[in-house]
Amino acid sequence: MIDVSIIIVTWNSERYVSRCLESIWKNTRGCSFEVIAVDSGSTDGTVEAIRRGFPDVRVIPAGANIGFPKATNRGIRESRGKYLFLLNPDTELRPGAVERLAGFLRDHPEAGCVSPKIIETDGSVALFHVREFPNLTNAFFRHFGLRKMFPRSRVFGRETFGDWDYGDSRSVPCLHGAALMIPRSTMEAVGELDEQLPLYLEDLDLCARIGKTGKLLYYEPSAVVVHHGGKSSELSPAQGLLHAMKDGQAPWLFLKKYRGPSASALFVLIVLAGSALRVCTLGLSHAVSRALHAGNPAEIKGRCLRARALLNWALSDKNRFMDGVNRSFR
């Protein structure tokens, strides 16, 4: 049996995917692996770039944007590895990442999955990839700007363990799906990704289901992955929808599924109030910074646009919102 099946879901990923694939072959030496790329209807030359530069990759064209969960499940069904490594196309592996994650799972049979240290392009640790599950307290801290103001606080930054330096291996409640390795036996026990779930919710749901089996979720910093697509100061309309999905729709649906309708309704009120406040304050800050030629107007504008996207989400019909997302990313 192959040690690791690396499964990458692509959609208009030509900008990043070659760098990702090159890093896999360059930096993976100590284990056998296969790479499966499931393409969700790319129109930018992603499939052609993969086939031209990386003939050993097994490309599975889905023919349309079928969504991340369905595309991932298709890759899993086609895979043969003992361990399944779900990897975003906008990532880049540092040397030894695959071997260290596979070795960790081999040495820790109690582990249901493991994630590497994920860093941004500028070298900073991506705080989103180790976190607590959505809850109302952390939602208040996030949407009223307290987590942003005090990211390293044990209280206000606890959603992403802000007081921790990410330097040691430990079990954690929830991991981000940008780079996640799972034993095949665990995936068979919990079942495939729920194909009815939208983007940004599938990893929360998967982690919750793994935890229910009694298995632990681990963070292993000796393995390092760079996430190149994680930061942006300006938002296009499509990026605004994605931001509303990540910070609005996905946690709302998680709370609705696991905590009930009262929790999800309170979450919407928190987002509504917090986003309205931030739209007002950031809009004023943007006007002042432009008038005085001080600060970073582009960054403030980007933050204001993100707050506005969340405000629009909070005021929207949630089913119609999903229809708009689906239309935008077909």
pLDDT for residue 254: 95
Residues 23 and 83 in one domain: yes
Question: In this predicted structure, what is the pLDDT of residue 234?
Answer: 44
Pick the last residue of a domain from 185, 202, 227: 227
10 lies in a domain? yes
Looking at residue 37, its pLDDT comes to 98
pLDDT band at 4 (very low <50, low <70, confident <90, very high): very high
Q: Does the residue 158 lie in any domain? A: no
Mean pLDDT, residues 118-133 taken together:
90
pLDDT band at 16 (very low <50, low <70, confident <90, very high): very high
Q: Kindly state the percentage of the chain with pLDDT values over 70.
A: 92
- Report the run of H or E that residue 209 belongs to, with start and end: helix 202-212
Handedness of CA 208, 38, 122, 246 (dihedral sign): negative
Q: What pLDDT band is residue 233 in, cutting at 50, 70 and 90?
A: very low
199-220: average pLDDT: 95
Alpha-carbon distances, residue 308 vs 122, 148, 272 (angstroms):
27, 17, 10
Same-domain pairing of 212 and 244: no
Tokens of 92: 């880049």
Q: Which residue has the higher pLDDT, 170 or 285?
A: 170
**Cα–Cα dist 311/289, whole Å:** 23
Output the domain CATH number for residue 46. Answer: 3.90.550.10
Largest CA distance in the chain: 64
| Domain's final residue, options 227, 256, 274 | 227
Portion of the chain with pLDDT greater than 90, in percent: 67
Q: 10 and 30: one domain?
A: yes
Residue 292 pLDDT > 60, yes or no?
no
Q: Is a pLDDT exceeding 80 seen at residue 149?
A: yes
Asked if residue 110 and residue 14 are part of one domain, the reply reads yes
- My answer on whether 39 and 110 are in the same domain is yes
The confidence score (pLDDT) of residue 168 equals 94
Does some domain include residue 282? yes
pLDDT of 278 above 70:
yes
- The parent domain of residue 290 ranges over 237-328
Domain boundary among 205, 227, 249: 227
Mean pLDDT across the stretch 204-217? 97
pLDDT of res. 288: 62
- In this predicted structure, the answer to whether residue 232 has a pLDDT above a threshold of 50 is no
Secondary structure (3-state) at 75:
helix
Looking at the structure, tell me whether residues 113 and 209 fall in a common domain: yes
Q: Does position 328 have pLDDT exceeding 70, yes or no?
A: no
More confident residue, 281 or 205: 205
* pLDDT tens column, 54-86: 999 999 999 898 989 999 999 999 999 999 999
Dump the DSSP string for 23-49.
HHHHH--SS-EEEEEEE----SSHHHH
Q: What is the pLDDT of residue 197?
A: 85
What per-residue string of b and e applies to 214-235 under the rule 16 or more CB within 10 Å gives b?
Answer: ebbbbbbbebbbbbbebeeeeb
Q: Is residue 116 part of a domain?
A: yes
Average pLDDT, the chain: 90
Cα separation, 210 vs 246, in Å, equals 21
Tell me the one-letter amino acid at 21: L
Residues 202 and 294 in one domain: no
Residues near 94 by Cβ (< 8 Å), separated by ≥ 6?
A: 23, 27, 223, 224, 225, 226
Q: In this structure, are 252 and 221 located in the same domain?
A: no
pLDDT score recorded for residue 152: 85
The answer to whether residues 84 and 172 belong to one domain is yes
